[in-house]
Chain A
Amino acid sequence: MLKTLYDKLWDSHVVRTEDDGTGLIYIDRHLVHEVTSPQAFEGLKLAKRRPWRVESIVATADHNTPTTDWDKGIEDPISKLQVDTLDQNIKEYGSKAYFPFLDSRQGIVHVIGPEQGATLPGMTVVCGDSHTSTHGALGCLAHGIGTSEVEHVLATQCLVQKKMKNMLVRVEGQLDAGVSAKDIALALIGKIGTAGGTGYAIEFAGPAIESLSIEGRMTLCNMAIEAGARAGMIAVDQTTIDYLRGRTFAPKGDLWDQAVSYWRSLRSDPGAIFDLMVTLNGSELIPQVTWGTSPEMVVGIDGRVPDPEQEKDIAKREGIEQALQYMGLEPNTSLTDIEVDKVFIGSCTNSRIEDIRIAAKVVSGKRVAPNVQLAMVVPGSGLVKAQAEQEGLDKIFIAAGFEWRQPGCSMCLAMNNDRLEAGERCASTSNRNFEGRQGAGGRTHLVSPAMAASAAVNGTFVDVRQILSE
């Protein structure tokens, strides 16, 4: 039988199947962070259980950690307790690797997993975080789980799952310079909606996907969950293998050769059947900007804020009205007339070295516009930060008036001190523009790093291709 990539990954991890099709699947890599794990470790302790295989655990503290004044530690006592609790749990139970607060390799869990070679093709990867879909960029089955499931994986190394349906998203053509994986993700969500992928595992394929770097593929798979799909994935190719070679936890020597030969089989068989297929034309794609409070509320940079009067569906009309009211926007406003107060370049979606390089290229020799009160770059990990500094990118940002911060999740979800105040408008490279996501009353517009950098120097949204051609 012809199999999709998802079928192959699923089949190679099924321990047993119940009569109703519910599967028990084996988990290879368990990524752990401080927010969704304390109750799981507590449950384990109360039941007097031990982790099944501590070598599967890779942990870091990322959500609560500050991005400034690391010498002062974590000042918020509640945040500190959560981070200390992770320290204690890892100390007590063990792990394959732990990158605590202040470690030079600490960072966002979805940045450091691939960076360390701790997520590999063919694996099942889980984490108590919905953006675990990121890791599917390496040809593995990766998805977010809740805290009860974190405890379940700790105790049994398995997860009780129903198999998802298969969706293929083909992106034809090639992206224009200045158009990125983030724009593919936003355009796709605009097309199929935030529930369009519910119940599916999405495989991304096609010429535009094959041309993406692994980092671009991570950005795209990261946002599969914003399309409703728990898992996004991309077939293994030479780009995947080149990315992994030499990484800390990647196999070495004979094992590497053996692994590579297996990894090359991790692609959908030609002719395999998908339950749903969606096609986008990458060549026609332009930079995307969200205008509302859901990632599906998105238009191209040449577009305008929609007019609810033009919407015939009552529920949709009310949704647009609510969003415009929250966002403080008038119908029919041109995107290029919207001024921003803050700019955030970071998050598990867009905080890797290539994201920082393109943003630096845009701001190089320019200044942050006077109406922008704060523009900040938060690298995804200590290693990304060090690499950027080695390339002198930090100096470009600082010269332009940006703040150059320590790594972490930061203002993507504002669990630390980095947040929007009520009414503030932000160009953000993160993944969710939900009400209050970046701070109570804050207004988020999701964009690519290049578009966020352009907004920072221009003061309003502007087509990055225009800035780059100047």
Chain B
Amino acid sequence: MEKFALHKGLVVPLDRANVDTDAIIPKQFLKSIKRSGFGVNLFDAWRFLDVGQPGVSLSKRQPNPDFILNESRYQGASILLARKNFGCGSSREHAPWALADYGFKAVIAPSFGEIFFNNSLKNGLLPIVLSELEIDGLFHDVFGFSGFQLTVDLESQKVTTEDNAKSFNFQIDPFRKHCLLNGLDDIGLTLEHVDEIKQFEQRHKLHQPWLFN
């Protein structure tokens, strides 16, 4: 996994609650057997006027001029500002893959779908929870100021505006933070405990032998 430490980037606001993973990456794109290439179909049904199919190049699509990601002022955005329960719904990791592949490094929302939240952390996409009030303020700012940027500092767990006028603290599990800062792969970390897993397995087998039948 790519390391995440400090990121400064343009913010795009997606002003609707309960954005589900079907909206983030529609089902027809889940047929891929690869992890990459989902960014061109991020928010496909909202972002384009034509119905998207796998393998159709971006140049042949009809962008929806009313969708916020298509506005010229938000081109190159790398921080998504969202509303509550972002990423609810299915467990498809294709959702964080699509967001990361599009160029997002962080998503800021008042709350997230739990599986999406976990999946994001495993792909170097930082989900940041701020309060509804703080998010409201950020929506106001991003709509009001063209080129509005934020700096996300994982080490100090802070989100800061460009002029340093506003700064917000966020929480993250120390273990997850450590993994992100160092770009650590979960599997490699877990395999450091092979002996403990084997010992557990032996005890488990004694207690519930039918599970190993």
Contact = CB atoms under 8 A, between A and B. Distances in A.
Mutual binders A and B: yes
Contacts of A198: 85, 111-114
10 contacts: A12-B204, A15-B197, A22-B173, A47-B187, A128-B93, A146-B91, A156-B190, A158-B190, A160-B189, A259-B208
Interface in B36-65: 45, 51, 54-55
B212 to A, nearest CB: 7
Contacts of A78: 31-32, 54-55
B122 interface: yes
Contacts of A255: 209-210, 213
B154 to A, nearest CB: 16
B93 A146 contact: yes
Nearest to B111: A195
B30 interface: yes
Interface residues of A, number: 76
Interface string A134-161: 0000000000111111011001111010
Nearest to B211: A28
Contacts of A47: 187
Interface string B169-181: 0000111100000
Interface in A111-137: 120, 122-123, 128-130, 132
Contacts of A194: 18, 85, 88
B134 interface: no
Nearest to A47: B187
A35 interface: yes
B209 A258 contact: yes
B88, B114, B173, B200: residue with the most chain A Cβ atoms closer than 10 Å: B114
Given A251-B210, A434-B22, A24 B33 contact: no
A308 interface: no
Nearest to B26: A436
Contacts of B207: 12, 262
Interface in A420-440: 422, 432, 434-437, 440
The 9 A-B residue pairs with the shortest CB-CB distance in the complex, in nearest-first order: A251-B210, A146-B119, A38-B33, A146-B93, A144-B91, A148-B122, A147-B93, A130-B91, A195-B85
Interface string B3-38: 000000000000011101011001110111111000
A337 to B, nearest CB: 26
Interface string A38-54: 11001000010100100
Contacts of B93: 36, 39, 128, 146-148
B208 A156 contact: no
B33 A42 contact: yes
Nearest to B122: A148
Contact of A79 (B31, B84, B174, B204): B31
Contacts of B28: 415
A26 interface: yes
Given A36-B92, A315-B17, A437 B22 contact: yes
Interface in B112-128: 112-115, 118-119, 122-123
Nearest to B45: A436
B127 to A, nearest CB: 13
B201 interface: yes
A128 B28 CA distance: 17
Nearest to B189: A160
A413 interface: yes
A395 B34 CA distance: 42
Contact of B18 (A15, A79, A144, A319): A319
Nearest to B54: A78
B147 interface: no
B33 A82 contact: yes
A336 interface: no
Interface string A53-68: 0010000000110000
A235 to B, nearest CB: 18
Contacts of B189: 160
A322 B16 contact: yes
Contacts of A120: 210-211
Interface in B158-193: 173-176, 186-187, 189-191, 193
A228 B45 CA distance: 24
A256 B210 CA distance: 8
B22, B26, B34, B115: residue with the most chain A Cβ atoms closer than 10 Å: B115
Nearest to A414: B27
Contacts of B213: 251, 255
B83 interface: yes
A158 B115 CA distance: 16
A235 B45 CA distance: 41
B211 A36 contact: no
A24, A132, A160: residue with the most chain B Cβ atoms closer than 10 Å: A160
Nearest to A437: B22
A123 B85 CA distance: 29
Contact of B200 (A15, A22, A256): A15
